[in-house]
Structures are given as structure tokens and as C-alpha cells.
Amino acid sequence: MGNTSILEYLSYLDREADLYAPYFRYDHLASIYVGGGTPNLLRAEEYHRLMAIAEKLYRDIPGDIEKTVEGIPQLFTREKVQAIKEAGFNRVSMGVQQMSDELIKYSGRRQTHKQVIDALDSFNEAKLAANVDLIYGWPEQTTEGMLRDLGELVDLGVRHITHYQLNVAGKSNFSKVQRAVLPPMEAVIEMYQESQHFLKGKGFRQETVYDWERIDGIPGRFETGNAHRYQYESILRDPFPVEEQKVSETRNMIGLGYAACGFPVTWPAENGPNWCYMNSRSLETYYRQIGAGRLPIDRQFSHNKDDLKLVWVFQSSQKMALDLDTYAVAFQSDLLADFAAIFDELESRGWIEVDTHRIRYVGLGQFHIPLIQALFSYARLAELRSSLKQGTTGGTVIPISEVA
């Protein structure tokens, strides 16, 4: 995308914010995340415009919240990193995937190990907190190579590492072409277990099945005011926080931009509107809808109370524990009873432990959380697929023609 195209896109993003502003002006902004994709394609002078767009929605932006820009190593320059800092961002999330120049070729990227190191040095000089994404279960990857890469990031002082398993699905090149060079499942499980042992031994705390937070940082490296926080993810994992036996607030995710997703929610007991949406995946349609003064939503799904339960279970499972008391307050229901058959099976396999207040994923149960999440949603997805085949939607899927 050339610079003219980027400027045009930013102008439409600005106009989309105008359309949403009346609805969210009085919400409390808790974090900003610019991504996925490669927002570091922008030129240095364009990052201020991103923050101005956020200000349209929420007026004054609190100075102490997390404001993150995502990007890839080869597109970060010192000039660009400094501009990100000056625009008001305080965290960078860098999708590295692999530190090895040899292994990164399987993703089609041309990044180098040196570019990763140079980018981290730039973040540290600009006093930006940094998160680095690495993937295990990669083609031709070994446990030893994985631990070497993790060790290098640890030695560099990175405080937050997102370490997740390669998702081999759909029509991706990994699925269609590279299956022969993927490590077997037994080796992938070993990688997960060995990375757990390694990172815990290096002073990291496991926040989710894939997020690792450093408890004590190396002095002088990434020591910013919010370096210990990862608000965007933690807020999503707790949509209905409970205090003093009541839901204290609800937490929304509002997405702007081409193919963006959002999830505005209200407390289930209030029976208010709860829905998720996806913006148009056609850039031409996205522009046309905004040009007509319409929200550029391609599809949306209205959640009933049972859907919200699944949302809560899915997000809480990321934390490797389900709080029975929070669920009871939020939904006026018993979590163990609502999903009794699933929990009985998981307990029989030794994948969970249950006490008076919570359910904890343990052992291989942690590794298999993505599989378990799909198990919880299986019956509801089957119901929705059946209704679509019959030509009915049960009042859940709302066509774009009905979106104001």
C-alpha cells in the first residue's frame, strides 16, 4: 500500500470515528491497541493522527493507560519508534514469530535476527514497554532451538513474551505445503512443557496459556511506568468484573477500521443489547459504506444469555482458571451444573482441579485449552449451523441491511 493509499485509509478511519463518537463519548477508555496487521507501515508523522482518531471517540485520553502499536521487526526504524513515543503510545507489540534467520523463511518473511535486536534496542532507548510474540511448533523447530530463542529475549530484558503454538488450520501454507516438516504433536507438547519450566525458572509468571510476564525486570531495560501491565489482554479476559457481590462494570472492545471486530456488552442481568460485529472485509465496500454515512459493518451477531456464558468461559479459560463465584454473580447460575458433562470428562482425564471457588486447568489441560474452548461451544455452533441450513437465524444473525 503506497503512501497515498495509506492517507486515504486514515481519512476514512477518521470518518468512521465520527460515526461512532456519539455512542462512546461517555465511556471510560481503558486501553488502546493499534493492530493487528502492520500499522508500522505508517510514516513517522502519521502516528499522531491515530491518537487524534482515538480522541474523537473518547475526548481526553487518560495518560496512564496502555497505548499499544503492533508491528513487525523490519518496519521499525529509530525515527519511527521515536514518533510512536511522541504521539503518546507507550507500548509496542512486535510479532517476531522466530528469532532464527533460517526458520523465519517458512512464513515468507524477509526479516533478520539483527532487525529484531535493533528494534528492541530502539524501544528501550525510547522508553517504550515491549511485548514480543514467538511461535513454537514451527517447521523444523527443535526444543533446544526454541529455548535458545527464549533465553535470548530473557537476557535482553524483555518483560512480556507471548509464546503460542502454531495454528495449523484452514488453507494456510503451513497446512497445505509444510506439514511434512512440522514437529509431531509429542514434540510440540514437550516444547510447551519445557518452555513453562524455563520461563518460570527465569522469573516469569504465566498469566495465560501463552502470556508470560516478568516479575522482576533487568534494571535499565524496558523499565517504563506501565511495563508490568498488559491491559488490553487482561481487560478482554474479564468482561464482567465482580466486586462486593455485584458486577462492578462491563468492559467493551470497540474496533475501527477495515475488517475490524468489536464486542459491546452490558451486564447479563440487565437484559441490555449484547452483540459482536465485523466490519467489511472488502476495502471498497468499507469506503463506500462510510462515504454513505453508514457504519461499515458487514455482519453482526446478537448474543443471548447463554452466548454470554460461552464468551465468559472462553475468555476466562485463557487465564487457566474459572472463578465459580464470579460466574454465579454475573449469570445467577452454577457453572459446574451448566457444563456438568464437560467438567466431568475433563476431571476424569486429570485436566482440571475443582475446589470451592474455582476450576483450575492443570497438566495437559492447560496445553489443550484451545481444544476445550471449542468443546464448550460445540453444541451452540451446531444449533446455529442448523438454523442457517433451514433458512432461519433465530434472531441472532443480523444482515447488514438492518444496520443503521
What residue spans define the domains of the chain? 3-234, 237-404
Helices (H), 319-367: 324-331, 335-338, 340-348, 364-367
pLDDT in tens, the chain (404 residues): 555 688 999 999 999 999 998 888 778 888 999 987 777 788 888 999 999 998 888 888 888 899 999 999 999 999 999 999 999 999 999 999 999 999 999 988 889 999 999 999 999 999 999 999 999 999 999 999 999 999 999 999 999 999 999 987 666 667 666 778 899 999 999 999 999 999 999 999 999 999 999 887 666 677 666 656 677 888 888 888 888 888 888 888 889 999 999 988 776 666 667 889 999 999 999 999 999 999 999 999 888 889 999 999 999 999 999 999 999 999 999 999 999 999 999 999 999 999 999 999 999 999 999 999 999 999 998 988 887 777 654 444 443 333 33
Model pLDDT, residue 233: 83
CATH number for domain 237-404, candidates 1.10.10.920, 1.20.1740.10, 3.30.420.40, 3.30.230.10: 1.10.10.920
Other C-beta atoms closer than 10 Å to the C-beta of 384 total 17
- Under CATH, which architecture does the 3-234 domain have? Alpha-Beta Barrel (3.20)
Model pLDDT, residue 397: 45
Please return the burial class of 225, using the count of CB atoms within 10 Å of its CB with bins 0-12, 13-18 and 19+.
exposed
Q: How many residues does the chain have?
A: 404
Same topology for domains 3-234 and 237-404, yes or no? no
| Spatial CA neighbour of 89 closest among 288, 247, 232 | 232
Other C-beta atoms closer than 10 Å to the C-beta of 22 total 9
How far apart, in Å, do the first and last CA atoms of the chain sit? 30
- E strand or H helix that includes residue 13: helix 3-24
Model pLDDT, residue 25: 74
276 three-class SS: strand
Model pLDDT, residue 109: 86
